[in-house]
Amino acid sequence: MNNIIYLDAAASALKPESVIQAEIDFLQNDYANAGRGICARASNVDNMVANARARVARFINAAPDQIVFTSGTTDGMNRIAHIINDRVCGAGVKNKTVMVSDLDHHSARLPFELLYDSDLCNIVLCPMDAQYNLMCSDLPRADVFVITAMSNVMGVPQDVAGLIAAARKKNPDVITVVDAAQYIVHNEIDVQKWDCDFVCFSAHKIGADTGLGIMYMKNPERWVSPDKFGGGMISKITGSAVEHNVCFQWESAPAKFEAGTLPLTQIIGLPAAIDYLSANRPNLDLIKYLYDRLSKNPRIKIITPRDSALFTFYIDGMHILDFGASVGARGVCLRIGNMCASWIHKCLGVAGTARISVGPWNTMDDVVRGADIIESVVK
Ligand SMILES: Cc1ncc(COP(=O)(O)O)c(C=O)c1O
């Protein structure tokens, strides 16, 4: 396995030693549940979770109680669709409009496509320019705006603040939902500058563990009803169905949105991942190297611009799965297929592509060896 060249950071990041150590320390020395006990060990875990929440908040310029732990971007986007459905697209308000885009990952758009399919909202598309960037001009009016801050196929940061400001001009009450799963790896996020209502990202793409995501909520108390129910999110139950009187009070946010036991080990590793990524962003000169070298091969059709965070391409005259299998057999790990982003592939007119992405661990040697192998497959 050590000969593998891992060029698939955008699918999931390898883990820094500090993250692994933080998780091992927790499991070996400090393990207990959070929010459930009053002994010293349990309150120590409560403090660790609070520290992790505060670290995430600092990372995106939010307040700790605006940070909700989820299981990933997918979970966050699905939850947001449910949370705002009550208010925006629910029974009696069927004329509300959700704006999505062809840059969206399936996890960002499908929850809203399904609301549409249940006759609960209308869908409109955010316009794109010839380079597949979202356009601030000519935005349709929308009640909800789903923004992919960086496509996992195109790798170009979008003007999130500009898009939100433009959407607000059409409707001051528009609810803005940002999928930052790829953007956050390469760019600093300031949720206050964006002035968005929701942001989602996944811990595993920033060097922390799987099973953990972050959902930022600008105003958590605005959303009266949470979408999940269980332990840790109710402060008082004063009636029940048996008494024909269902009556309870929610905890305040973020607990209100965190029913059940949290993925504690992953949360404890998260601050180390954020520290590491903040000091070691992926070196995008490696992507430029690939662009400059592989653009000389006429069979390699590059889709991404030279200054993209990703290198996405397809091969003229070779099925992309055959290409992927050949480079994979030679030890190069990259992403092949539609990348759960069918709509942009439809716009590009190709069924699938290959994507190279780099993390902080990748070196020039990795991409030189990767390019050697790609060239040997695409003669
Ligand atoms: C832009 C984008 N959004 C959402 C997701 C979904 O993330 P996850 O599978 O961690 O929930 C991904 C994953 O590749 C992504 O690239």
Residue 117's pLDDT band, with cuts at 50, 70 and 90, is confident
Task: Estimate the crossing angle of helix 364-377 against helix 320-329, to 10 degrees.
Answer: 120
Task: Specify the residue with its C-alpha closest to ligand 1, atom 16.
Answer: 152
Which atom in ligand 1 lies closest to the alpha carbon of residue 11?
Answer: 14
Query: Is residue 156 domain-shared with residue 233, that is, in the same domain?
Result: yes
The pLDDT of residue 2: 66
246 pLDDT above the threshold of 90: no
Instruction: Evaluate if pTM is beyond 0.85.
Output: yes
Query: Is residue 302 domain-shared with residue 265, that is, in the same domain?
Result: no
- Report the SS3 class of residue 6: strand
Output the CA 235–ligand 1 centroid distance in Å: 33
Task: Specify the residue with its C-alpha closest to ligand 1, atom 12.
Answer: 181
Most informative mutation of 12, 182, 206, 336 for ligand 1 (most atoms within 8 A of CB): 182
Q: What is the DSSP letter of 251?
A: P
Q: Which two tokens stand for residue 194?
A: 């964006």
Query: Is residue 353 domain-shared with residue 239, that is, in the same domain?
Result: no
The average confidence (pLDDT) of the chain is: 95
Query: Is residue 49 domain-shared with residue 82, that is, in the same domain?
Result: yes
Output the CA 143–ligand 1 centroid distance in Å: 24
Output the CA 361–ligand 1 centroid distance in Å: 21
Domain C-terminal end among 262, 278, 294: 278
Most informative mutation of 71, 160, 340 for ligand 1 (most atoms within 8 A of CB): 340
Number of domains in the chain: 2
170 pLDDT above the threshold of 60: yes
Output the CA 33–ligand 1 centroid distance in Å: 28
Most informative mutation of 8, 78, 101, 105 for ligand 1 (most atoms within 8 A of CB): 105
Output the CA 116–ligand 1 centroid distance in Å: 21
Is the C-alpha dihedral spanning 91, 94, 96, 102 positive or negative? positive
User: Which residue in 277, 138, 143, 153 sits closest to 203, CA to CA?
Assistant: 277
Domain C-terminal end among 243, 278, 313: 278
- Which residues form ligand 1's pocket by a CB distance below 6 Å? 72-74, 105, 107-108, 148, 152, 179, 181-182, 202, 204
Taking a C-beta distance cutoff of 8 angstroms, is the pair 155, 125 a contact?
no
Cis bond upstream, residue 254 (ω within 30): yes
Domain C-terminal end among 257, 278, 299: 278
pLDDT by residue (tens digit) across 264-296? 999 999 999 999 999 999 999 999 999 999 999
91 pLDDT above the threshold of 70: no
pLDDT by residue (tens digit) across 333-357? 999 999 999 999 999 999 999 999 9
Which atom in ligand 1 lies closest to the alpha carbon of residue 75?
Answer: 11
Query: Is residue 105 domain-shared with residue 133, that is, in the same domain?
Result: yes
Query: Is residue 316 domain-shared with residue 260, that is, in the same domain?
Result: no
The pLDDT of residue 89: 67
Q: Which two tokens stand for residue 112?
A: 């809203």
Q: Which domain holds residue 305?
A: 5-15+282-377
Query: Is residue 169 domain-shared with residue 317, that is, in the same domain?
Result: no
Query: Is residue 93 domain-shared with residue 109, that is, in the same domain?
Result: yes
The pLDDT of residue 1: 57
Residue 90's pLDDT band, with cuts at 50, 70 and 90, is low
Query: Is residue 94 domain-shared with residue 108, that is, in the same domain?
Result: yes
Q: What's the CATH code of the domain at 303? A: 3.90.1150.10
Query: Is residue 229 domain-shared with residue 254, that is, in the same domain?
Result: yes
- The radius of gyration of the chain from alpha carbons, rounded to an integer in Å, stands at 22
Measured distance CA(115)–CA(321) in Å, rounded? 33
User: Which residue in 68, 150, 136 sits closest to 103, CA to CA?
Assistant: 150
Output the CA 75–ligand 1 centroid distance in Å: 10
Query: Is residue 257 domain-shared with residue 306, that is, in the same domain?
Result: no
φ, ψ at 170 (rounded to 5°) = -80, -35
Query: Is residue 286 domain-shared with residue 190, that is, in the same domain?
Result: no
pLDDT by residue (tens digit) across 351-372? 999 999 999 999 999 999 999 9
